[in-house]
Amino acid sequence: MDKTPDTELPDTKYRRITANGIDFAYLDAGPADGPLALCLHGFPDHAPTYTQSGLLDALAGAGYHAVAPWLRGYSPSGLAPDGNYEVASLALDALALADALALDRDAVLVGHDWGAIAAYVAVAHRPERFRKLVTMAVPHQAALMQRFLSTPEQLKRSWYIFFFQTPLAEMVVPMNDFAVIDLLWRDWSPGLTPDPAFTRALKDTLGAPGSTEAAIGYYRAMLGTTPANPELADVAGAGNGPIPVPTLYLHGADDGCMGIELVDESEIRPFFPAGVDVEVVPASGHFMHLDRPEHVTARILEFLSR
């Protein structure tokens, strides 16, 4: 198994920017005038996942302006002023960040977990903004949902989604120093032991005022417990449509969050008219970029260079 690099990378900078009405904190590396590589994290995770894996530094070494923001609601980024954490808003955040950071330059989008979900919608809504797309751990939602709902084992794995719809979630998640978060990481990437400093920083992110509620809010918006903004219906609907840019999709063979049985290339491929590479990463779980950092990074760089 690949060895995870140290958390701190000397060339990575911490910065802030306002986009789509949110004050975003982000990490970046590489030349500011290089093509943008925007990297979106998932749950329960945060922006340093891309420095911990070495991907941000590797993208910078390939000449990209590599950027990893904390998503809306994840401290030190700002909370959504209207409490809106639906996927359409996440997609518009990604597009606004790309517009602000890349201006009229070339850009690629990388997303893991919730970052992947947001990335599909962003690219489908405005495909001219990004040259290529890389997603990890969550297939295209239109290819995913039927298998998700008809697979009993997957419904069992997804207990946390249903628990997050209840008012108990905000109280239980922070208990015992976020023991639920430790449980999810163990279940989702068996055999992975995250760096203690990385885990401490993640818990501090979720422990900041409003951040746990925001992270849970993503799931409440997903199932409609929190009503969607009807003005964003067209953006949200784009997520069910085709992805008209070349795409790389990676999924961990031992993913304990989204089971490998959800990945059917024959069902995924029709949603990618510009082509999709589907790869199951062996000996890795949900956090494959940390389980197999060298393999995943090399695969992403090879895809982007083509």
Ordered DSSP codes for the chain: -PPPPPS--TT-EEEEEEETTEEEEEEEES-TTSPEEEEE--TT--TTHHHHSSHHHHHHHTT-EEEEEPPTTSTTSPPPTT----HHHHHHHHHHHHHHHHTTS-EEEEEETHHHHHHHHHHHH-GGG-SEEEEESS--HHHHHHHHHT-HHHHHHTHHHHHTTSTTHHHHTTHHHHHHHHHHHHHHSTT----HHHHHHHHHHHHSTTHHHHHHHHHHHHTTSSPP-GGGHHHHHHTTS---S-EEEEEETT-SSS-GGG--HHHHGGG-TT-EEEEEETT--TTHHHHSHHHHHHHHHHHHH-
In a domain? residue 68? yes
In a domain? residue 8? no
pLDDT of residue 12: 75
Query: Tokens 């808003």 map to which residue?
Result: 89
Average pLDDT in the 200-204 region?
97
pLDDT of residue 150: 84
Average pLDDT in the 205-211 region?
98
In a domain? residue 46? yes
Average pLDDT in the 202-231 region?
97
pLDDT of residue 11: 63
In a domain? residue 141? yes
Average pLDDT in the 122-144 region?
96
Confidence grade of residue 177 (pLDDT, cut at 50, 70, 90): very high
What pLDDT, in 10s, does the model give residues 1-48? 343 333 344 467 899 999 999 999 999 999 999 999 999 999 999 999
In a domain? residue 3? no
What pLDDT, in 10s, does the model give residues 60-93? 999 999 999 999 999 999 999 999 999 999 999 9
Which domain covers residue 215, as residue numbers? 13-305
What pLDDT, in 10s, does the model give residues 266-286? 999 999 999 999 999 999 999
* Whole-number Cα distances in Å, 171 to 7, 17, 222, 295: 30, 31, 20, 38
CATH code of residue 22: 3.40.50.1820
In a domain? residue 67? yes
Q: What is the overall mean pLDDT for the chain?
A: 94
pLDDT of residue 149: 82
List 107's β-bridge partners, or say none.
Answer: 36
Greater confidence (146 vs 37) lies with 37
In a domain? residue 6? no
pLDDT of residue 8: 40
What's the number of domains the chain is made of? 1
User: What CA–CA distance (Å, rounded) separates 34 from 66?
Assistant: 9
pLDDT of residue 103: 83
In a domain? residue 7? no
List 277's β-bridge partners, or say none.
Answer: 248
